[in-house]
Chain A
Amino acid sequence: MKKIVGIDLGTTNSEVAVMEAGKPVVIKSTEGNTYFPSVVAFTKDGEKLVGESAKRQAIVNPEGTVMRIKRKMGTKEKIRLHGKTYTPEQISAFILQKIKTDAEEYLGEKIDEAVITVPAYFDDDQRQATKTAGEIAGFKVRRIINEPTAAALAYGLDKKGEQKIAIFDLGGGTFDITLMEVGGGVFEVLSTNGDTHLGGSDMDQILVDYIAEDFKKKHGVDLHKDLKTLQRLIEAAENAKIELSSTLKTTINLPYITVVDNEPKHLEIEFTRALLERLINPIIEKTVRPCQQALKDAKLNPEDIDHVVLVGGPTRMQAVQKKVDEIFRKKAEHGVDPMECVAVGAAIQAGILSGEVDKDIVLLDVTPLTLSVETLGGVSTELIPRNTTIPTKKSKIFSTAADNQLSVEINILQGERPMAADNKSLGRFHLDGILPAPRGIPQIEVAFDIDVNGIINVSAKDLGTGKEQSIRITGSTKLSDDEINRMKKEAEAHAEDDRNRKEKVEVRNYADTMAHSVENTLKEIKDKISEDEKQNIENALKELKKALTGDDIDEIKKKTDELSEILQKVSTNLYQKAAQKAASSQTSGSTSEQADDSWSGHPSDEDKTINADFKVKDEENKKTDSKKKNDKT
């Protein structure tokens, strides 16, 4: 499948994205940025520079550098650079060429088709010029789409039936508001408005001026005058602006900002979000009128707008978002980076054209909730985590927990809670005919296979005998959204409580496994250790077993630790002796046979052993089960 890229050809910066495995991915430039400065330059020697390198030298070579060419698209204007003339299409083509080369480098394949975005207000000439630029750059331009349409696509708003959408695009230097109607996948622009000289850079300027003014009042020095200081100030103001999007207060601290009478001066100023908002409010306020005008032109009331989409870096600021809420009386969409959403939307459009966004493939379902099996002590042991794309297959190997256990029960669970009883049981079955063996020896592979329709096949196979049992669960995964949300909320609400309960079970399981294992080990090593040592172990073991009959988890933990400590000493002695004898390193006090992951089916009725706990060797199906030891996290 040939890849088609989506390009947001911007005034100051451009971005490019592509669909990969059904997901939009923003492509980085070779300089490592997610954007490409829309700057083109020719050096005196005739070398062509595009992007970051052109931007860095712009001030030294103004007669050879061109910026903001987008504003000239569709005009007959010629651009002279070191004696040569270029059309706006040619200049834009240089930018697109750089994007093409970098995208090819990034993807490792040739790209020759693109979807390019333009502002909604672009006329036919401007659109044609953009298309020509793409063609000069070597692209087959599959489609020119409106930037607001792309932004709406990034949020999947084309799939929500008939909707009215407002796209609020506040960039570094321009502001655009577009009202659109979408229905049946078709977007129609109802009205557009804006201000070509309004944006984030105005905000930064106001902040810098304020800080400089404050410093002047305190120290009588104008920081504007020194370039070094000014540069530090600009950076600090920008950082403060970003920080105040998430905090209420920040301090700008610039030590050694200047020297007055041989005395170093430091700049320190406290900035609150309230102050920031007060300062930039005049700028934000300027967005109101264009919005109102757009509503009027479209003959709409704010209430008629179903969705609001934010585009551009400055819309990350809470003050801007608040204003947008106020204008349209609803919260804006969240989730896609406002700097990238136009390119992302263009990539989605490109994906539809290339077949990458194929209904059959990309709309693969995910498991809404985690699927697990019940293990010892009523714990849910995860096999397929929530949000896994299906069809998928995962398997894990479990083992028995009781000696001579002949049967295990597989209880299939759905839900996020760590304890089985709190999750929904989708079905259960027994695997009988396990050969009598000590606990931990039999290997039982439990596999979950979910097909594309969400039908789950669960099988349990005794790898020793080859015996297999399975169950087919249909329909149970098709929960309603309400049900899924309820289960997720419940899981969140009980998270703390559940964790404690699970921990208790784990402590108990660990203690139980340990007691069992020590008993076995003791039989093996009793001739190799002293009577004292043997007595110590037996006493500790007895106490642990006693603790296990009760409910005091702290006591069980304590006794487990005590036993473990004694065993460590014994085994150390044993190894030392063995080393002295230079004999084989047989025997061990390996009491910590605790598995990471212990599953136990309940023993079947004919098996009167109380617990069927099984140590698990988390062997995985290489292809599908990539989440090794995920359960404990």
Chain B
Amino acid sequence: MTTKKITEKKKEPHEKNILVFKKEIEKLKQELNEKNDKLLRSYADLQNYQKRIEKELICKDEETRKKYILEIIDLYELLQKAYENSNPKDGIQAILQNIQHLLEIEQVTVIDSLGKSFDRFYHYAISTVEKNDYEDGKIVDEIKKGYMICNKILRPSQVVVVKNIIKKEGD
């Protein structure tokens, strides 16, 4: 009797433990499944979000284009009128002012280049010339004007820079 009791006593907690563990495993399995599902769902959400953003970007791009195309159309029509006019100078001046105004609104500014020292941030050197009466690195010609937009480079000005060959006798 006593020995039996002892074995039963020993067995009981063991079986209990197994039950507890089994339950625990079940619980963890379920938790893992739920977490896995959540992970996949958030991943799918992210991918769907990406798709939406891509679509929105295209829409936005179209909107911007529309806005500028309309501005260009206005200018185009004005230029057409100027072209048909026998004395278009005043008209063209007004049109130029319009364009200038548009550029001002968009915070577009011209980069000053001529006579300045070459600065790779603002300028793109297209060619060099030798000019002994100029300092090395000075800009002597502007091939294409450069512009800034909201303090960022819209396009660097394309310039010709002085580069004098160092005279050996001086050294």
Contacts and interface: CB of A to CB of B under 8 A. Distances in A.
B37 to A, nearest CB: 7
A389 B144 contact: no
A392 B125 contact: no
Given A21-B43, A388-B48, A56 B124 contact: yes
A59 interface: yes
A170 B50 CA distance: 32
Interface string A189-201: 0000000000000
A60 B137 contact: yes
A21 B47 CA distance: 6
Interface in B45-85: 45-52
Nearest to A360: B40
Interface string A217-234: 000000000011001100
Interface string A386-403: 011111110000000000
B52 A392 contact: no
Contacts of B143: 227-228, 231
B109 interface: no
Given A392-B45, A623-B45, A60 B163 contact: yes
Nearest to B162: A60
Given A227-B143, A231-B144, A56 B125 contact: yes
Interface in B7-48: 37, 39-41, 43-48
A361 B40 contact: yes
B154 to A, nearest CB: 11
Interface residues of A, number: 34
Contacts of B123: 56
Nearest to A232: B144
A49 B121 CA distance: 11
B118 A21 contact: no
Interface in A30-68: 31, 49, 53-60
Contacts of A627: 52
Contact of A231 (B40, B43, B126): B126
A392 B41 contact: yes
A592 interface: no
B120 interface: yes
B43 A361 contact: yes
A49 B118 CA distance: 15
A624 interface: yes
A60 B161 contact: yes
Interface string B127-171: 110000000010001011000000001001010110100000000
Given A227-B143, A391-B44, A623-B45, 6 more contacts: A22-B47, A31-B153, A227-B141, A228-B143, A364-B40, A452-B37
25 contacts: A21-B47, A22-B43, A23-B47, A53-B120, A54-B120, A56-B120, A56-B123, A56-B125, A56-B156, A57-B120, A58-B125, A60-B125, A227-B126, A227-B141, A227-B143, A227-B160, A228-B143, A231-B126, A232-B144, A364-B47, A388-B48, A388-B51, A391-B37, A391-B44, A626-B52
Interface of A: 20-23, 31, 49, 53-60, 227-228, 231-232, 360-361, 364, 387-393, 451-452, 623-624, 626-627
